[in-house]
Amino acid sequence: MAIDLKTVKHISKLARISLDDEKAKKLAGDLNSIFEFIEKLNKLNTDKIEPLTSIAETTLKLRSDEVKSKNIRDQILKNSPNENKDFFVVPKVVE
């Protein structure tokens, strides 16, 4: 099954990665060779096999919901790509 340019553009939308036509073409080529390699799995009949969803066979443990980190608001905001010291700022979303 070949992945065409339209599909690549669609996936890039889903993945929120903008792609120009040249990059999309190159990527289509790469993805096709990778999927050709992946298609080998179809040779196996897995109808009666249970999927392996987790390698660690444990049930998730419960813990009390309490704040453990100290007051690190300023340090966290320092990593923000914008200049504002009090909030994370994004382009306007509500008109």
Partner 1 sequence: MNDIISQNLTVLIKNIKDKKISSEEVTKSFIKKAEKAKTLNCYITEDFDSAIQKAKKFDSKPNFKCKLPGIPIAVKDLFCTNGVKTTAGSKILNNFIPTYESTVTQNLWNEGGILLGKLNCDEFAMGSSNETSFFGNVQSPIDKNLVPGGSSGGSASALASNLTPITIGTDTGGSIRQPASFTGTVGLKPTYGSCSRYGIVAFASSLDQAGPMAKNVKDCALLHEVISSYDSKDSTSIDFKRNNYSELLTTNIKGKKIGIPKEYRVDGMPIEIEDLWTKGIEYIKECGATTMDISLPHTSYALPTYYIVAPAEASSNLARYDGVKYGFRSEGENLIDMYERTRSEGFGNEVKRRIMIGTYVLSSGYYDAYYLKAQKVRKLIKSDFDEAYKKVDAILTPSTPSSAFKIGEKTNDPVSMYLNDIFTVPVNLAGLPGISIPAGLDKKGYPLGLQIIGKAFDEQNLLNIAHAMEEKINFKNNIKEWWIK
69 contacts partner 1 (rule: CB under 8 A): yes
21 contacts partner 1 (rule: CB under 8 A): no
67 contacts partner 1 (rule: CB under 8 A): no
Q: CA 1, CA 37: separation in Å to the nearest integer?
A: 11
Residue 24 burial (CB count, 10 A):
18
Residue 64 burial (CB count, 10 A):
4
> What angle, rounded to 10 degrees, do the helices at 21-38 and 5-14 form?
100
87 contacts partner 1 (rule: CB under 8 A): no
Residues in contact with partner 1 by the rule CB under 8 A? 3, 7-8, 11-12, 14-19, 27, 30-31, 33-34, 37-42, 44, 46, 49-56, 58, 60-61, 63, 69, 72, 75-76, 78-82, 88, 90-93
